[in-house]
Chains A and B, each alone.
Chain A
Amino acid sequence: MSQPLPTRRDEAWRYSDLDAVAKLWPLPEAEHIVVPAGGQWTRSIVQDASGVQQIQMSLGKGAVASLHVLNIGGDYGRIELDVTLHEGADFTLGAAQIGGGAQTLEIVTTVTHAEPDATSRQTVRSVLGGHATGTYLGKVAVARGAQHTDSEQSVKAMLLDRTATANAKPELEIFADDVKCAHGCAIGELDPTALFYLESRGLPPAEARTLLLQAFVAGVFEGAADADALQALALAKLGELA
């Protein structure tokens, strides 16, 4: 039996474009990925058309997984991750969402540190122009006994127009007492002082903005096998917005 359509009251869908979601409903089956103990896994996802991708991952003892996401796509692009980390596992997410027009782009993650000594790093950068909406909902759950958890969420959004919207909600749920969980979140606009500095050296305004935006998302694709290709795609999309 298919799931009922989500509503606004559903926290995970609160900022979504529900009309767009209805068109995509019912969603395809979530993908299940198991990285065995000691295993290594990497993937890059480019979401460049409307769609919802749900991925459930389980990382075995000491497994290392890294996922890089470029979400630029369609009217409604959503990536959902549900990651469970076992002892000493290590998970990295580097994601950029870049949207303009009336696009709605979302990254929704749940990272569960089920056992001790696991690490997770999530870096998400959103650049939003026009009437676009970019959302990051990220929950880090630390289970009882998952001591020495080391988790970090770094979430930043850049609004190019006053009409664009960024939602960011890093969330922690911790049932262990010896853990390190850092999260930082910032939403801002391009620094006019930096723009003027670049322009005073001869860069036209659009190029100055692109350069600053490029710097803003730089680093999220670090470690990806196809980092250069992702960066080039991101840059092309940024060029359209600037």
Chain B
Amino acid sequence: MLQINNLHATVADKPILKGLSLKINAGEIHAIMGPNGAGKSTLTYTLGGRPGYEVTEGSVDFDGQDLLALAPHERAAAGLFLGFQYPVEIPGVSNVQFLREALNSQRKVRGEEPLSGGEFLKLARAQADAMGMDMEMLKRPVNVGFSGGEKKRNEMVQMGILDPKLAILDETDSGLDIDALRVVGDGINRIMRKPDKAVLLITHYQRLLDYVKPDFVHVLAAGRIVKSGGPELALELEEEGYREIAA
């Protein structure tokens, strides 16, 4: 589904990713772990196409398409979802309005009919219910006044509504208490644990991986993947620290 080959990327002319390669097949959940400054968030934003994150070398194939040639909204329409470490607050724009427009824009690119207001609300309500989020909250401005946990829950509701093929979740576990962590973990499993979907979890800690079991764990250090293994690698990292493993 996703094939990253020798990816180099710079931010403000500073090289951050230095030859990162990774292959993710449908049905798999991968976790990338790594110390601060390893390039985890840069990888997320580069794959999402955020302005300022410049690819200088390498290629990314997403389901047969050249991902790097697509604009951010086209990547979304192709089935990519980014879960933000810090979901953005947007005063004056209601979640429901924005998500309906976003979903219908994606459907248009894929040649599908737009959802009516009623159909969309039904879908939104089902996803909000599944994440234990009040529908009233979904009518409020995007993330405004939401707690850290509510913002992450809202990311999962958005993911449920948009129903992507591949989700890249950047430190979705940060700022969550134990209960919220379980809810978000369950959400990831419910929405994305399917044979035709895949997930790339980016995290500092092992704890999210107790809820969302990865098939593969990779260690990112200094802009490259320095070690890959099964779920046991995450436990090793937790015990020994990145310094030992990455060395």
Chain A positions near chain B (C-beta within 8 angstroms): 191-194, 196-205, 207-208, 211-212, 214-216, 218-219
29 contacts between A and B (CB under 8 A): A193-B88, A196-B50, A196-B51, A197-B84, A197-B87, A197-B90, A198-B93, A198-B98, A199-B72, A199-B76, A200-B49, A200-B75, A200-B76, A200-B84, A201-B98, A201-B162, A202-B73, A202-B102, A204-B73, A205-B71, A207-B105, A211-B93, A211-B97, A212-B90, A212-B93, A215-B90, A215-B91, A216-B92, A219-B92
- B90 contacts A198, CB within 8 Å? yes
- B88 contacts A199, CB within 8 Å? no
Interface residues as binary, B64-96 with A (CB distance below 8 Å gives 1, 0 otherwise) = 000000011101110000101001101111000
Name the contact of A201 in the complex, choosing from B71, B76, B109, B141 (C-beta under 8 A).
B76
**Cβ of B171 to closest chain A Cβ, rounded Å:** 16
- A211 contacts B101, CB within 8 Å? yes
Minimum-distance CB pairs A-B, first 9: A215-B92, A202-B76, A202-B106, A201-B102, A199-B72, A197-B88, A202-B102, A215-B93, A199-B73
Q: A197-B90, A207-B101 are in contact. Are A202 and B162 (CB under 8 A)?
A: yes
A214 to B94, CA, bound (A): 11
**Cβ of B75 to closest chain A Cβ, rounded Å:** 8
Chain B positions near chain A (C-beta within 8 angstroms): 48-51, 71-73, 75-77, 82, 84, 87-88, 90-93, 97-99, 101-103, 105-106, 109, 141-142, 158, 162
A-B contact count (CB 8 A): 76
Q: Which residue of A lies closest to B89 (CB)?
A: A194
Chain A residues, CB < 8 A from B98: 198, 201, 203, 211
**Cβ of B170 to closest chain A Cβ, rounded Å:** 11
Interface of A is mostly: helix
Chain A residues, CB < 8 A from B142: 197
- B158 contacts A201, CB within 8 Å? yes
Q: Which residue of B lies closest to A204 (CB)?
A: B73
Q: Which residue of B lies closest to A201 (CB)?
A: B102
Chain A residues, CB < 8 A from B88: 191, 193-194, 197
- A202 contacts B93, CB within 8 Å? no
- B49, B71, B93, B162 — which one has the most chain A CB atoms within 10 A of its CB? B93
- A198 contacts B102, CB within 8 Å? yes
Chain A residues, CB < 8 A from B106: 202
Chain A residues, CB < 8 A from B97: 211
**Cβ of A30 to closest chain B Cβ, rounded Å:** 35
Chain B residues, CB < 8 A from A219: 92
Q: A196-B51, A197-B84 are in contact. Are A203 and B102 (CB under 8 A)?
A: yes
- A218 contacts B73, CB within 8 Å? no
A200 to B79, CA, bound (A): 11
Q: A201-B162, A215-B92 are in contact. Are A196 and B105 (CB under 8 A)?
A: no
A198 to B142, CA, bound (A): 10
- A218 contacts B102, CB within 8 Å? no
Chain B residues, CB < 8 A from A192: 51
- B101 contacts A203, CB within 8 Å? yes
- B91 contacts A199, CB within 8 Å? no
- B72, B87, B90, B103 — which one has the most chain A CB atoms within 10 A of its CB? B72
- A199 contacts B71, CB within 8 Å? yes
Chain A residues, CB < 8 A from B158: 201
- A200 contacts B90, CB within 8 Å? no
A216 to B93, CA, bound (A): 9
Chain B residues, CB < 8 A from A198: 90, 93, 98, 102
A215 to B141, CA, bound (A): 10
- A194 contacts B90, CB within 8 Å? yes
**Cβ of B100 to closest chain A Cβ, rounded Å:** 11
A212 to B101, CA, bound (A): 13
A194 to B102, CA, bound (A): 14
Please name 10 further chain A to chain B contacts, defined as beta carbons within 8 Å, in addition to the given A202-B102, A202-B103, sorted by A numbering. A193-B88, A198-B90, A199-B76, A200-B49, A200-B73, A203-B98, A211-B97, A214-B92, A215-B92, A216-B92
Chain A residues, CB < 8 A from B50: 196, 200
